[in-house]
A and B are shown apart, each in its own frame.
Chain A
Amino acid sequence: MRILNLTAGRLSRHRRGPIAGALLLLLGLVTAGGLYTAVMTPASAERTQDLASQVEEGRKLFLVGCSTCHGTNGEGITTDRGNNLGPSLVGVGAAAVDFQVGTGRMPMAQPGAQAPRKDVAYSEEETAALAAFVASLGPGPAIPDESDYSIDGLDSAAQEAAIVRGGQLFLTNCTACHNFEGSGGAMPRGGYAPKIRGVEPKYIYEALLTGPQTMPTFSNGNLTPDEKRDIIAYLGSLDDAAAIGGFTMGGLGPVAEGLFAWVVGIGALVGFAVWIAAHTTRSNKKKVEA
């Protein structure tokens, strides 16, 4: 810690305690950070926008970041060859925007078979503004309330029942694409059903509702909000559950298990076999027969 005292004069350097420099540095950082937070960060809780100005802000953001592919009014753009540059957003609803932008899938970094999840490009208010703008283009699914997708409000017996039913619904509707652990799966032509574990419940609800990319929709007439909530509860229970059998090796099923059987199992045992039959240490000395 003396290194931080090097800037002091030769005499002062030795008057100060060894950690004085470090303490001063820490104090300086805390002060600067605190000032920045207090002064520079907009107090988002206080800012209220009325809907019209939110839609207007959303429209401005949309023109800059989204209209190249989705058209200035979200009507979608089809190229001369008939390819879809960006689909129409009329009627997709605020939920779709909240999902796509909130998980970073949109704006898409490059065209491709699928929009992967990546770093989020917009802040929370910007996302809300975009969602408001797109919702204004045509009626569509709204962003859900927490009560829509959380079983916290239920008593424990109802919670248990929700998880059981959610599991059966999950196995019927979801595992075919997303796999029994929600680890994801392949779709045609380079597409894939992504991993759905560790995803915020709100986004799962929105994905079910809006059918992102090539995913089918599970509108509220298909899977009721309660059923969606149960599926989300089941996924949560998978996250909460301990791995009672040991490490799960990715939750990919027999292919991963076979890999481990060969690499770990056969690898270790052949290694032991090499050890067993290896020449032991030799000595140059000769044995003296007693």
Chain B
Amino acid sequence: MSIDTSKVATSNSSAATAKKPGKAGAVANWADERLGLGTAMKKNLRKVFPDHWSFMLGEIALWSFVVLLLTGVFLTLWYHPSMAEVVYEGSYDPLRGVLMSDAMASTVHISFDVRGGLLMRQMHHWAAMIFIASMMVHLLRVYFTGAYRKPRELNWVIGSLLLLLGTLEGFTGYSLPDDLLSGTGVRAADGFMKSMPVVGSYMSFFLFGGEFPGEQIIPRLYTVHVLLIPGILLALIGAHMLLLVYHKHTQWPGPGRTEENVVGFPMLPVYAAKAGGFFFIVFGVTALMGGLLGINPIWKYGPYDPTKVTAGSQPDWYMGWPDGALRIMPGWEFHFFGYSFALNVFLPIIVLPGLMFTILLLLPFLESWITGDKREHHLLERPRNAPTRTALMVSLMTFYGLMWAAGGNDLIAIKLNLSINQITYFMRVAVFVGPAIAFWITRRWCISLQRHDQEKLLHGYETGVILRSPEGGYTERHLPISESAAYTLTARDRDEVYSPDAEADASGVDAPGGRLNGLRAKLSELWFADNVQKPTAEELEEARHHAEHEHELTASLDGHAADGHQFDGHHAVEGETLRGS
């Protein structure tokens, strides 16, 4: 390679050698020559992301996952995934000499004899709770704003899988210390396995390596918890982020925003700083919680013993709703021909969660089937503008919430002085009636909010100034909303009810998929029923014209606060006259 002579100095004041790249430049050069980073990064460094707090909820989940990985690795350095029987000889006196599994002994060791061990354990546990809670909050945000529509349905599916795997990861994780509380949960899980028809006892024996509790379950849960599920989670999170980057983030409608653009701030430096900073905030909040709020004091539960139990035996909150379903289920068990079918366990703990998860997965496809909408959507919808969608999720949330409350029925009973029997009877009815009521209320509420928006759009906002005409009638003065606010209110699609193609074509051949199509049309009609559509240009013109006319009539009051004291001597009113005179 010949020396570049184009930069030879024309004077003596600067060096005559070729410009050497700086240190950072040298490293970048080395990397690029091997990895072609320049091409990969050119588009993404200044990639634009829109700004809204509700877009950061998924980040809470992402960063808590990182916290889980870091604190989890710490814990694995001291934890023994073994059910071998040991005699505890550590520093927690009330357990000295007690027989327990090595897993429990090592966890007590981490809590009492490793500096920072209890902090890491508690951080890990709080981060797990926050991980799953934030996934749910993120799911609700995505759903209520319609961000799961095309092209993001697959991301929704990936997200639902992340939620499911996160829940399982949490369950396997808190069972690892082999303490009384989590062991009771594992015992219940054995009961769940056994309730499955035909294969139940085989599944239980294969999982536990024999009869319950055996000595295989903790090491097996450990493998699932530190290897299998985290691997799948990492892969799915990667896919989730990749799709997010490819599709670009959705945005709220507003001035300057269209379906074809993204308005916001660039990745470098703004989002790198905001997201990176948020990572430290999530980590910091988790550390504060881990240091100040004690969680899961396993030394007080003691080691798992199948003959001991504590009142208030609940799983961690994210398994609370199936526990509630289990509690309120009536005792339906069927016996026939030497077999027993424990429907009272099978239905609430195997069938119901499976059903709920399937519904969750299918929600975007269900909506697109009902609405027949095949367009790409990148602008978000306010929840009120999709009343049926919003009401559907609120009723699912009501179902979930009632089941969750039922899972804590004994604590509700002692805190509110109620009878657990009455709470159970109430819940048995409420889980059916509640969602129906919630659906209806939410839907009407959304529609009434839409009507209010329409009012604002057509007639302006209420100023609170009441005018009285000479005839004695009262009116409220309205002023038009700003242009950008008006635009934002109309930046939504018009709903179109799905109608199947003509029943029969020219030759009298029926359209395919007949009856299903009919159902689809009916559902679509119900989906959009009573929805308030945005006004057409003519309607808007007419409304504005009408508003201007009203303003002319009240013009005499322009420039003054209409405080009613114009003509009673409280302040000077030169030049003012009674309207009409």
User: Does chain A touch chain B in the assembled complex, meaning CB atoms less than 8 Å apart?
Assistant: yes
- Smallest CB separation, B342 vs chain A (Å): 23
Q: Are B93 and A253 in contact (CB under 8 A)?
A: no
Q: Give the CA-CA distance A181 to B419 in the complex, in Å.
A: 22
Q: Are B57 and A258 in contact (CB under 8 A)?
A: no
Does any Cβ of B come within 8 Å of A68's Cβ? Answer: no
- Smallest CB separation, A280 vs chain B (Å): 11
Q: Are B300 and A180 in contact (CB under 8 A)?
A: yes
Does any Cβ of A come within 8 Å of B364's Cβ? Answer: no
Chain A hits for B134, CB < 8 A: 266, 269
Does any Cβ of B come within 8 Å of A222's Cβ? Answer: no
Write out, one digit per residue, whether chain B residues 173-195 have a CB within 8 A of any chain A CB (1) or not (0): 00000001100000000000000
Chain A hits for B310, CB < 8 A: 171, 175-176, 179-180, 253
Q: Which of A179, A234, A252, A262 contacts B94 (CB 8 A)?
A: A234
Write out, one digit per residue, whether chain B residues 270-295 have a CB within 8 A of any chain A CB (1) or not (0): 00001001100110011001011111
B interface size (C-beta, 8 A): 71
Q: Give the CA-CA distance A7 to B57 in the complex, in Å.
A: 67
Does any Cβ of B come within 8 Å of A198's Cβ? Answer: no
Q: Known: A238-B300, A257-B296. Contact between A163 and B56, CB under 8 A? A: no
Does any Cβ of A come within 8 Å of B448's Cβ? Answer: no
Does any Cβ of A come within 8 Å of B76's Cβ? Answer: no
Chain A hits for B285, CB < 8 A: 265, 268-269, 272
Specify the chain A residue showing the minimal Cβ separation from B52: A277
Specify the chain B residue showing the minimal Cβ separation from A183: B312
Q: Are A186 and B414 in contact (CB under 8 A)?
A: yes
A interface size (C-beta, 8 A): 58
Does any Cβ of A come within 8 Å of B79's Cβ? Answer: no
Chain B hits for A274, CB < 8 A: 53
Q: Are B294 and A248 in contact (CB under 8 A)?
A: yes
Write out, one digit per residue, whether chain B residues 6-36 have a CB within 8 A of any chain A CB (1) or not (0): 0000000000000000000000000000000
Specify the chain A residue showing the minimal Cβ separation from B134: A266
Q: Which of B56, B93, B297, B320 contacts A164 (CB 8 A)?
A: B93
Does any Cβ of A come within 8 Å of B103's Cβ? Answer: no
Q: Give the CA-CA distance A276 to B55 in the complex, in Å.
A: 11
Specify the chain B residue showing the minimal Cβ separation from A249: B293
Mark the stretch among A31-39, A119-127, A129-137, A189-197 that contacts chain B: A189-197
Specify the chain B residue showing the minimal Cβ separation from A177: B311
Q: Give the CA-CA distance A206 to B313 in the complex, in Å.
A: 27
Chain B hits for A190, CB < 8 A: 413, 417-419, 422
Q: Give the CA-CA distance A265 to B318 in the complex, in Å.
A: 15
Chain A hits for B146, CB < 8 A: none
Q: Are B277 and A276 in contact (CB under 8 A)?
A: yes
Q: Are B289 and A265 in contact (CB under 8 A)?
A: yes
Q: Are A245 and B297 in contact (CB under 8 A)?
A: yes
Specify the chain A residue showing the minimal Cβ separation from B423: A186
Q: Are A253 and B56 in contact (CB under 8 A)?
A: no
Q: Give the CA-CA distance A270 to B52 in the complex, in Å.
A: 12
Chain B hits for A261, CB < 8 A: 126, 129-130, 133, 317
Chain B hits for A113, CB < 8 A: 419
Does any Cβ of A come within 8 Å of B475's Cβ? Answer: no
Q: Give the CA-CA distance A101 to B315 in the complex, in Å.
A: 38
Q: Give the CA-CA distance A226 to B59 in the complex, in Å.
A: 56
Chain B hits for A163, CB < 8 A: 93-94
Q: Give the CA-CA distance A238 to B419 in the complex, in Å.
A: 29
Q: Which of A180, A248, A264, A277 contacts B56 (CB 8 A)?
A: A277
Q: Which of B96, B296, B409 contacts A160 (CB 8 A)?
A: B96
Does any Cβ of A come within 8 Å of B118's Cβ? Answer: yes
Q: Known: A246-B294, A265-B130. Contact between A167 and B53, CB under 8 A? A: no
Q: Are A189 and B419 in contact (CB under 8 A)?
A: yes
Chain A hits for B274, CB < 8 A: 276-277
Q: Give the CA-CA distance A277 to B94 in the complex, in Å.
A: 50
- Smallest CB separation, A38 vs chain B (Å): 45
Chain B hits for A262, CB < 8 A: 133, 317
Contacts of A56-71 to chain B: CB distance below 8 A: none
Q: Are B300 and A181 in contact (CB under 8 A)?
A: yes
Does any Cβ of A come within 8 Å of B305's Cβ? Answer: yes
Q: Give the CA-CA distance A245 to B317 in the complex, in Å.
A: 20
Q: Give the CA-CA distance A253 to B410 in the complex, in Å.
A: 12
- Smallest CB separation, B281 vs chain A (Å): 5
- Residue from A192, A193, A248, A253 with most neighbouring chain B CB atoms (10 Å): A253
Specify the chain B residue showing the minimal Cβ separation from A241: B94
Q: Are B97 and A164 in contact (CB under 8 A)?
A: yes
Q: Are A193 and B130 in contact (CB under 8 A)?
A: no
- Smallest CB separation, A284 vs chain B (Å): 17
Q: Are B311 and A184 in contact (CB under 8 A)?
A: yes
Does any Cβ of A come within 8 Å of B426's Cβ? Answer: no
Q: Are A257 and B421 in contact (CB under 8 A)?
A: no
Q: Give the CA-CA distance A277 to B410 in the complex, in Å.
A: 41
Q: Are A175 and B421 in contact (CB under 8 A)?
A: no
Contacts of A220-255 to chain B: CB distance below 8 A: 234, 237-238, 243-249, 252-255
Q: Which of B53, B126, B315, B410 contacts A186 (CB 8 A)?
A: B410
Chain A hits for B97, CB < 8 A: 161, 164
Does any Cβ of A come within 8 Å of B316's Cβ? Answer: yes
Q: Which of B96, B294, B311, B317 contacts A176 (CB 8 A)?
A: B311
Q: Known: A164-B98, A184-B414, A186-B413. Contact between A172 and B308, CB under 8 A? A: yes
Q: Known: A160-B96, A171-B305. Contact between A188 and B293, CB under 8 A? A: no
Q: Are B312 and A255 in contact (CB under 8 A)?
A: yes
Does any Cβ of B come within 8 Å of A11's Cβ? Answer: no
Specify the chain B residue showing the minimal Cβ separation from A258: B317
**Sorted from nearest, which 3 A-B pairs have the closest CB atoms?**
A258-B317, A185-B311, A245-B294
Pairs A–B under 8 Å by Cβ, sample size 7: A184-B311, A190-B413, A244-B111, A246-B293, A255-B320, A264-B289, A278-B53
A: residues with CB less than 8 A from B are 113, 160-161, 163-164, 167-168, 171-172, 175-181, 183-190, 192-193, 234, 237-238, 243-249, 252-255, 257-262, 264-266, 268-270, 272-274, 276-278
B: residues with CB less than 8 A from A are 51-57, 59-60, 93-98, 111-112, 118, 122, 126, 129-130, 133-134, 137, 180-181, 274, 277-278, 281-282, 285-286, 289, 291-297, 300-302, 305, 307-318, 320, 408-411, 413-414, 417-422
A254-B320, A276-B277 provided; 12 other pairs, C-beta below 8 A? A171-B302, A179-B311, A179-B312, A190-B419, A248-B294, A253-B314, A254-B316, A255-B320, A257-B296, A265-B130, A276-B274, A277-B52
